[in-house]
Chains A and B, each alone.
Chain A
Amino acid sequence: SQKIEQNSEALNIQEGKTATLTCNYTNYSPAYLQWYRQDPGRGPVFLLLIRENEKEKRKERLKVTFDTTLKQSLFHITASQPADSATYLCAPIGTGSNYQLIWGAGTKLIIKP
């Protein structure tokens, strides 16, 4: 069955360093992969989309990579700040689908001052 794995343990990073989160998927060939941010008590908020033919995508301090051979996406936050502390969800999307069936459980990121 299709499976999405994100590190279930919280990731603690010192302020100013680069945080790297991992999303691995199996039995799945997504055409796109999205990353969302979720703060406690709130709904997820879209951050970035990367397509299968894109190796890397950047938005301000955020960078996402997509390796279809390794079946993995990496999400980087450079120059991290305490305000970046949140849970980050990855969501691979297949082609021709109008609904998002599978989501990663998310990785909690804690940026320490």
Chain B
Amino acid sequence: DAGITQSPRHKVTETGTPVTLRCHQTENHRYMYWYRQDPGHGLRLIHYSYGVKDTDKGEVSDGYSVSRSKTEDFLLTLESATSSQTSVYFCAISDLGTSGGNEQFFGPGTRLTVL
């Protein structure tokens, strides 16, 4: 299995509080991605990174920010959590990006509940 860990694995928080999810990889892959997965929806890209300090928005980036200060770490922050952000969050990595059909390796996910 690709060396990807996510922390925490489960979190319950209250509306309006800030939340940070961490993705850590040991594969030295250049690309890192944050997705959310909700019932009835496909994975939806929140933000992605193509290098240290290089990030870009995905389809559902509103209310989320990211940072990547080291190759191995990609942080996802919910500045002020809302109930609509209750979801399962997956981090993924890819060495060459998806160009050329390169596969992504996924972490185990973080289940976030916002009350």
Chain A interface main SS type: loop
Per-position contact with A for B91-115: 1 when CB-CB < 8 Å, else 0?
0100001111101111111000000
Per-position contact with B for A95-109: 1 when CB-CB < 8 Å, else 0?
111111111111000
The smallest beta-carbon distance between B111 and chain A, in angstroms, is 9
Residues of chain A from 1 to 60 with CB closer than 8 A to chain B in the complex: 4, 8, 31-32, 34, 41-46, 49, 51
Q: Indicate if the CB atoms of B50 and A41 lie closer than 8 Å.
A: no
Residues of chain A contacted by B106 (CB below 8 angstroms) = 43-45
The smallest beta-carbon distance between A7 and chain B, in angstroms, is 13
CA distance A94 to B48 in the complex (A): 16
Q: Indicate if the CB atoms of A95 and B42 lie closer than 8 Å.
A: no
Number of interface residues of A (CB under 8 A): 27
Q: Indicate if the CB atoms of A44 and B43 lie closer than 8 Å.
A: yes
Q: Known: A105-B40, A105-B41. Contact between A34 and B103, CB under 8 A?
A: yes
Residues of chain A contacted by B59 (CB below 8 angstroms) = 101
Interface centre among B59, B90, B92, B100, by most chain A C-beta atoms within 10 angstroms, is: B100
> Could you list which residues of chain A lie within 8 angstroms of chain B, going by C-beta atoms?
4, 8, 31-32, 34, 41-46, 49, 51, 89, 93, 95-106
> Could you list which residues of chain B lie within 8 angstroms of chain A, going by C-beta atoms?
4, 31, 33, 40-45, 48, 50, 56, 58-59, 90, 92, 97-101, 103-109
Q: What are 8 A-B residue pairs whose CB atoms fall within 8 Å in the complex?
A: A43-B92, A49-B103, A93-B99, A96-B99, A98-B31, A98-B48, A98-B98, A100-B43
